[in-house]
């Protein structure tokens, strides 16, 4: 399988790259990033890309990919509403449409999150925008769409791109995992689960935090 990963400098995306390198079923990995990766491997190709609303120069790349694992995103606390909507929704839909034009047979995995609501009734900006992105992706003529909805993602590897506020939360994950394990998934579990889903080509579209953890076992 040949995959392309976005958000590969972030927590989830970087782990997808690591686990894909270890996965014998994944033969080629393309990371679409704004800045170089610290990870290097013979299976990994890094493409520096800066305009995530314009993919016109990537048509040839998309034609040779079997699956996109979309991990690009940002916390709603780090940007204003307009910026959050653009990064979460506009970037994703622009990429999905470009990929469909270049390669209608591509599978698309969208990293969403627990609390996303496609009916738009969430009280949180996160829930509304992630939900709208899920809904509109589902209306595109993608050959296969998968949506993963993790809860709190416990980092297994240190990531220099982790925001300061997120670093403050990390020490509390073991306690939350002990008291309420259904609300926590490790970055490794999440990455392994997403790779399994796209490889198995399941009929199930939306995967909850608990389902992702069980699949990663």
**What would the pLDDT profile of 160-198 be if each residue is shown by its tens digit?**
555 545 555 556 556 556 665 667 899 999 999 999 999
pLDDT value of position 166 = 54
pLDDT tens for 96-123 read 999 999 999 999 999 999 999 999 899 9
> In this structure, what token pair is assigned to residue 128?
């509304």
Q: Where do the domains of the chain lie?
A: 2-216
Tell me how long the chain is: 217
Among 132, 137, 165, 130, which residue's Cα sits nearest to residue 151?
A: 130
The CATH class of 2-216 is alpha beta
Q: How many distinct helices (H) and strands (E) make up the chain?
A: 9, 9
- 127 pLDDT band, cuts 50/70/90, is very high
């Amino acid at each position: 399988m040949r995959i392309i990963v976005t958000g590969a400098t972030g927590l989830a995306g970087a782990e997808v790259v690591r686990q894909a390198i270890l996965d014998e079923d994944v033969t080629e990995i393309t990371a679409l990033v704004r800045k170089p990766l610290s990870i290097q491997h013979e299976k990994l190709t890094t493409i520096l890309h800066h305009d995530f609303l314009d993919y016109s120069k990537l048509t040839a790349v998309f034609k040779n990919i079997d699956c996109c694992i979309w991990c690009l995103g940002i916390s709603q606390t780090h940007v204003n509403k307009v910026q959050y909507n653009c990064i979460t929704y506009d970037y994703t839909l622009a990429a999905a449409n470009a990929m469909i034009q270049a390669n209608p047979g591509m599978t698309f995995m969208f990293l969403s999150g627990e609390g996303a609501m496609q009916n738009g009734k969430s009280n949180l900006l996160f829930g509304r925008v992630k939900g709208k992105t899920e809904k509109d992706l589902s209306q595109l003529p993608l050959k296969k769409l998968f949506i993963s909805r993790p809860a709190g993602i416990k980092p297994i590897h240190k990531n220099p791109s982790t925001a300061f506020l997120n670093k403050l939360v990390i020490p509390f994950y073991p306690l939350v995992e002990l008291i309420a394990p259904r609300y926590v998934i490790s970055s490794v579990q999440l990455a392994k689960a997403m790779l399994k889903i796209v490889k198995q080509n399941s009929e199930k579209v939306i995967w909850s935090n608990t389902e992702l953890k069980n699949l990663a076992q």
